[in-house]
Amino acid sequence: MNQIAQNISQECGDCPIRHSAVCARCEPDELTRLEEIKYYRHYDAGSHVLWSGDRMEFVASVVSGIATLTQTMEDGRTQMVGLLLPSDFVGRPGRDTSPYDVVATTDIIMCCFRKRPFEQMMERTPHIAHRLLEMTLDELDAAREWMLVLGRKTAREKIASLLTIIARRDAAINLRAPKGVLVFDLPLTREAMADYLGLTLETVSRQMSALKRDGVIELEGKRHVTVPDFSRLLDEAGDDSDGGMLA
Amino acid sequence: MNQIAQNISQECGDCPIRHSAVCARCEPDELTRLEEIKYYRHYDAGSHVLWSGDRMEFVASVVSGIATLTQTMEDGRTQMVGLLLPSDFVGRPGRDTSPYDVVATTDIIMCCFRKRPFEQMMERTPHIAHRLLEMTLDELDAAREWMLVLGRKTAREKIASLLTIIARRDAAINLRAPKGVLVFDLPLTREAMADYLGLTLETVSRQMSALKRDGVIELEGKRHVTVPDFSRLLDEAGDDSDGGMLA
DNA sequence: GTCAGACTTTGACCCAGATCAAATGCGAAC
DNA sequence: GTTCGCATTTGATCTGGGTCAAAGTCTGAC
């Protein structure tokens, strides 16, 4: 299941998420102190990072890979409430049980900090607290955006909205503007997409087929997606024409 | 429309939200500095505090009354993404246009801070930044809880969930435990409830009638609600039996 | 007291998406 | 290369909640 990660002792200075994670604003000396309390951890695709109700021993940043935050009702209905990408933060200072299941969708590496030392450090270094506030506000905006999707959009618009988000993220990683032709891989199964969108996997599949039939997307295999015209996809998502802006 | 509030110059020390708003953690001297940059503002029921896209000149705390945060699509579909109760915070340091409409549901009084001075003050007083982080994390949890409601619950469960929230809040204000018999007034119209729940007002009305018929609630007029057995209501909401806990 | 207008309830019907069921890939293990 | 298991697609049917329409009901203004 979960092993202590490869002993490639990484230095924060070389870290791929150095400039976007919770440590983004830290000065070199602060980074040094963080390095003392951090450790890496690897999780296999499909394994649980945290179970809802679990005691959390640490907070962490996703270094690589993708994880999901989900809530499940007693009868098994589940709703994804967050998609964790590299640099996203897991856990809440001052709380010690997780209200959500955190599941690795792909193999992931997490940069973990034991909770107590991290909390102490947060009190002493405003750079961390400030960055965490900023990230939390971004997540809150994203959650509210998603409430509109869940509450008011049709199945087709929901799918298009999700594709839009993934396409944007992918473009951002590759330092390209999200417009024109875009190509990316879906990091989620149809079932995970359904859990994100409040749909069934059958409906997800049907709407993917419909978008393909209508030329909004092209599929190669199940996961490899080409968007011939990003603005067309935006229209399908029902978003404001300008497409809004992310942080 | 909006007038500068009654000139009852309030002192922070006597403020009803003194211990739960963004200023909750402030020391007396910090409060003094806040008092210098704050001003009260009154909005009539039904009026807009902010329009989506507006430049925000201030951030603010709700002192009394209820406001809503909503998002609207071009074709008019709207989704409420936040319910602002006394002590809740409006606005985001570091951003200057509102992504949402903020509408006063009842007459409200806001304690406003001009943005620039507030931001400067936040940098100097960690008590404010820390409290704001805490409040934002709570809101994020609430938003995620709401994603489960929007994505996976039936209309009846949605209504019961909303009633649960309002009943809990009301019990908290009156310093009573949320259990047994509860009585409160609905602060929202059927349409606002629908916008919150991702339903139509007709469905809201039908489900309210159904809950009444089934003895889960009693109605006196349209707004005055009696819950004879809170645990029954919790069951209807489909929440975990323990009812979860709020901050 | 009554009138106008907004809010709410109720009914009839319809449809998007759920449910149930069966094929169809498709990759990993042997 | 065959087989097993899983993800996905597709089809048939059902239904919860939406839509359209018509009554109530309440409140505040006069």
Chain B CB within 8 Å of residue A129 CB: yes
**Could you tell me how many CB contacts below 8 A there are between chain A and chain B?**
102
Decide if B225 contacts B162 (C-beta within 8 A): no
Decide if B89 contacts B129 (C-beta within 8 A): no
Contacts of A140 in chain B (CB under 8 A): 136, 139-140, 143
Chain B CB within 8 Å of residue A104 CB: no
Give the closest-approach CA distance of A69 to chain B in angstroms. 10
Give the closest-approach CA distance of A70 to chain B in angstroms. 9
Quick check: B49 pLDDT over 90?
yes
Yes or no, beta carbons of B133 and A134 under 8 Å apart = no
Residues (212-241, chain A) with CB within 7 Å of strand D atoms: 219, 222-223
Show pLDDT as tens, one digit a residue, over chain A (247 residues): 434 444 455 788 889 999 999 999 999 999 999 999 999 999 999 999 999 999 999 999 999 999 999 999 999 999 999 999 999 999 999 898 999 999 999 999 999 999 999 999 998 888 999 999 999 999 999 999 999 999 999 999 999 999 999 999 889 888 888 888 999 999 999 999 999 999 999 999 999 999 999 999 999 988 899 999 999 999 999 987 554 444 3
Decide if A142 contacts A247 (C-beta within 8 A): no
Contacts of B70 in chain A (CB under 8 A): none
> Of the candidates A211, A196, A195, A199, which has an alpha carbon nearest to the alpha carbon of residue A154?
A199
Take residue A225 and report the two structure tokens written for it.
Answer: 């997606």
Residues facing A182 on adjacent strands: A227
Yes or no, beta carbons of B151 and A79 under 8 Å apart = yes
Query: Which burial class, exposed, middle or buried, applies to B200 when counting CB atoms under 10 A from its CB (0-12, 13-18, 19+)?
Result: middle
- pLDDT category at B9 given cuts 50, 70, 90 is low
Looking at residue A247, its pLDDT comes to 37
Distance (Å, whole) CA A141 – CA B33: 30
Looking at residue A246, its pLDDT comes to 42
Yes or no, beta carbons of A150 and B145 under 8 Å apart = no
Q: Express each pLDDT in B27-37 by its tens digit.
A: 999 999 999 99
Mean of the per-residue pLDDT values of chain A: 91
The residue of chain A with its CA nearest to that of B235 is A74
- pLDDT category at B242 given cuts 50, 70, 90 is low
Distance (Å, whole) CA B244 – CA B239: 8
> Of the candidates A165, A167, A192, A159, which has an alpha carbon nearest to the alpha carbon of residue A46?
A192
Yes or no, beta carbons of B140 and A144 under 8 Å apart = no
Distance (Å, whole) CA B94 – CA B85: 23
Decide if A68 contacts A84 (C-beta within 8 A): yes
Take residue B1 and report the two structure tokens written for it.
Answer: 């429309």
Q: Which of B82, B151, B238 sits opposite A150 (nearest CB)?
A: B151
Yes or no, beta carbons of B71 and A144 under 8 Å apart = yes
Mean of the per-residue pLDDT values of chain B: 90
Q: Which of A71, A82, A136 sits opposite B133 (nearest CB)?
A: A136
Would the CA dihedral through B80, B2, B173, A137 be positive or negative? positive
Chain A CB within 8 Å of residue B27 CB: no
> Of the candidates A204, A145, A136, which has an alpha carbon nearest to the alpha carbon of residue B79?
A145
Q: Which nucleotide has its C1' atom closest to residue A192's CA?
A: D7
Q: Express each pLDDT in B72-99 by its tens digit.
A: 999 999 999 999 999 999 999 989 899 9
Looking at residue A242, its pLDDT comes to 52
The residue of chain A with its CA nearest to that of B127 is A123
Quick check: B174 pLDDT over 90?
no
B77 CB below 7 A from strand C atoms: no
Quick check: B247 pLDDT over 50?
no
Average pLDDT over residues B113-117: 94
Q: Which of A133, A144, A151 sits opposite B133 (nearest CB)?
A: A133
Q: Where are the alpha helices (DSSP H) in B10-125?
A: 28-37, 115-124
pTM: 0.92
Nucleotides of D under 7 A from a protein CB: 7-12, 16-21, 26-27
Nucleotides of C under 7 A from a protein CB: 7-12, 16-21, 26-27
Chain A CB within 8 Å of residue B198 CB: yes
- Tell me how far apart the 2 most distant CA atoms of chain B are, in Å: 56
